[in-house]
Amino acid sequence: MSIDTLIEDFSFLDGWEDRYRYLIELGNKLPHMEEAKKREEWKIPGCQSQVWLIPHYDGQNISFESDSDAIIVRGIIAVVLDIFKDKSAQEILDIDVEEIFDKIGLREHITPNRRSGMLSLVDKIKYYATQVLKGHNEYSRVSSEKNL
């Protein structure tokens, strides 16, 4: 789903109960990560819940596989991954996620801990994008060598 579609979908929902339900629905649609992939090296620091993020680089775009042990956090992950889906490294770095979260109204309606965790996830995604731009793509090779 595009950023505009995401913003539009949230704008059609009446109250925050509906938006939380939609967030949970998005989280439920997020594919579960295999337990073997939930390693410490892929864990996002700064999250109250457990969150894992694995980057995949195809030579042009970066995609991400992510999961959490918390329902609302899975929904936030689904939104973040949709924002960065099918983007080049430079496009990822150019996106202002907080502006998008403001437009869909999530920033003021998620707890400070969840917001902090969301920003940690975004920071890690942008870190991987920076590594790609610097030519450091070894994480793709490493992840595939470890049968991820």
Q: How far is C-alpha 27 from the geometric centre of its chain's CA atoms?
A: 11
- 61: number of Cβ within 10 Å: 16
10-residue mean pLDDT profile of the chain (148 residues): values are 84 84 94 95 87 89 92 93 92 93 80 85 94 74 40
Options 3, 6, 26, 47, the catalytic residue: 47
The domain segmentation of the chain, as residue ranges, is 3-145
Q: Which pLDDT belongs to residue 141?
A: 42
Establish whether 54 is a catalytic residue: no
* 4-29 burial code (b ≥16 CB/10 A, e <16): eebeeebeebeeeeebbebbeebbee
15: three-class secondary structure by DSSP: coil
Task: State the CATH class of domain 3-145.
Answer: alpha beta
Question: What are the pLDDT digits (tens) for 53-95?
Answer: 999 988 778 899 999 999 999 999 999 999 999 899 999 999 9
